[in-house]
Amino acid sequence: MARINDVGGTQGFGAVDTTDDTEPFHADWEARVFGIWNALRAQGVFNLDEFRDTIESMPPTEYLATSYYERWYLAVVALLERKGVIAPGELDEPGGAR
Amino acid sequence: MTDPAAAPTTADRFAPGARVRTFRHDPPHHTRLPRYARGKRGTVVEPEGPAALADVNARGRGDAPVEQIYAVRFAARDLWGEGDHHVVLDLWESYLEEDKGDATDER
């Protein structure tokens, strides 16, 4: 069961974008997601392989429709819910994503 | 989680230059052996150091075995049927078996 992320050697995705883009983030929220991810990993809330596994387990349609750091955000939320750090849907509550 | 640096050193299973073959099976869980490199023949370049096996570590239980990771070189032609370059992948020992050069092949 190769997952949607495992597309190495697969044709049909168009040309590879080789733009020399040195900006690590393209929006403030991306940097915040990266920072939150680092803090949670450092605290041992999840490990790198669990994180990768969570991203790879996204439904293919959702995976393909989301940006790189959107996947990071969705995976972090899923892991926090799975680990019981937050309640399911908690970030959807009013003020939850503040 | 086991600290790979603290793990006891074990003898490397594969020496540089060893001919190896990757496993063909497609696991239902996380793995770091990409689909395009399954069931392929390559050559060990060198050991890269031990680390917890990602396939097990992804389950978050903290009991993943620590294995040697090897840099393994593949001919692009063996992976995709064309190309004159090589591709080097870092692969856990569990992904590899000795290439006995038998007749069965993935193609």
DSSP string, B47-95: EEEEEE-HHHHTTT-S-PPEEEEEEEEEEHHHHHS--S-EEEEEEEGGG
Chain A environment of B76 (Cβ under 8 Å) = none
Residue A70 placed within a domain = yes
Residue A75 placed within a domain = yes
Mind telling me how many Å the CA of A33 is from chain B's nearest CA? 21
Q: Do A47 and B36 touch (CB under 8 A)?
A: no
Residue A23 placed within a domain = no
Confidence at B41, pLDDT banded by 50, 70, 90: very high
Mind telling me how many Å the CA of B58 is from chain A's nearest CA? 4
Q: Indicate if the pLDDT at residue B26 is higher than 80.
A: yes
Cβ within 8 Å of B, A 34-53: 44, 46-50, 52-53
Confidence at A1, pLDDT banded by 50, 70, 90: low
**What is the chain A residue with the closest CA to B80?**
A9
Residue A60 placed within a domain = yes
Residue B11 pLDDT? 80
Residue A61 placed within a domain = yes
Q: Do A8 and B35 touch (CB under 8 A)?
A: yes
Residue A81 placed within a domain = yes
Specify whether the CB–CB gap between B4 and B50 falls below 8 A. yes
Residues B82-97 have pLDDT tens digits of 999 999 999 999 999 9
- Specify the pairing of strand B86-92 against strand B66-75: antiparallel
Residue A95 pLDDT? 64
Q: Indicate if the pLDDT at residue A78 is higher than 90.
A: yes
Residue A98 pLDDT? 46
Confidence at A92, pLDDT banded by 50, 70, 90: confident
pTM of the model: 0.86
Provide the residue range defining the domain that includes A78: 46-89
CA distance linking residue B46 with residue B17, whole number of Å: 8
Option in B58, B79, B80 nearest A52 (CB)? B58
CA distance linking residue B70 with residue B90, whole number of Å: 5
Specify whether the CB–CB gap between A88 and A94 falls below 8 A. no
CA distance linking residue A52 with residue B31, whole number of Å: 10
Give chain A's domain count: 1
DSSP track, A60-80: HHHHHHS-HHHHHHHHHHHHH
Chain A environment of B80 (Cβ under 8 Å) = 9
Its CATH class, for the domain covering B4-8+15-98, is mainly beta
Which residue is it, tokens 């959702």?
Answer: A62
DSSP state of A87: -
Q: Indicate if the pLDDT at residue A7 is higher than 60.
A: yes
Mind telling me how many Å the CA of B104 is from chain A's nearest CA? 22
Confidence at B104, pLDDT banded by 50, 70, 90: low
**What is the chain B residue with the closest CA to A56?**
B30
